[in-house]
Amino acid sequence: MTPLAPTASLPQPGIMGRALGGLFFVLALVISGFGVYNAAHAAGVAGTHGTLAVEHCWVKQGSRSSSDTTVCGGTFRSDDDKVVDDEASIRAKVKPGSKVSVQQAGGSYVRVGFGETTRWIALFFLGWLVAAFGMSFAVTGMCPRSGMQVAMISRAVSGTRAGAVRRWLVRAGLAGSGLCLLLTLLAWLLT
């Protein structure tokens, strides 16, 4: 009796698998760091607080893989009137003439509020999911060549300590990002 489809086998461990796992960890750090950085600004913990007086909005064309984004620009004025930026902009759909509470984050601006903060915290937890995905490759050193091999490598670490940590990262990442997105949705519905 012959099988209907060829069976996949586990790839050999090597430097490429560990490098792939490392790449996922770096990507997870970048995603989580970006989330924490913007959450701190949206919560008002970091940066300079002020108001953006929206003067005009435009649509920034996205690439084939990303959608168009509405950007609104105007004048930022800090609460203490020490910082004035006539070329400030935020990625948001706001009516011209509106005043938006923002936090200056380096050279950009982030909207302030509970919903914005929880949205950025959800991104932090997304980084945990990316780390969990790459953990199997880093631990085994196996570099998958197909989706079937990804599943097999993940299954290979399921009974180990690394598998337990991976499960914890997935559960915490899903719970954290899900809760934050739910809170973001509730904040959006209540405003």
> Would you say residue 7 has pLDDT above 80?
no
d(CA 5, CA 64): 35
| pLDDT per position as a tens digit, 66-82 | 677 888 899 999 999 88
Q: 93 or 23: which carries more pLDDT confidence? A: 23
> Would you say residue 117 has pLDDT above 90?
yes
Straight-line distance from the first to the last Cα atom of the chain, in angstroms, rounded to the nearest whole number: 64
pLDDT at 146: 84
pTM of full prediction above 0.75: yes
d(CA 31, CA 42): 16
Nearest to 90 by CA among 124, 58, 67, 46: 58
Query: Residue 5 contacts by C-beta under 8 Å, 6 or more apart in sequence?
Result: none
* 3-state percent helix, strand, coil for the chain, nearest multiple of 5: 50, 25, 25
Nearest to 104 by CA among 32, 60, 44, 33: 44
> Would you say residue 3 has pLDDT above 60?
no
> Would you say residue 15 has pLDDT above 70?
yes
| pLDDT per position as a tens digit, 37-77 | 999 999 989 988 999 999 998 888 766 666 778 888 999 99
pLDDT (average), residues 93-110 = 88
pLDDT (average), residues 91-115 = 88
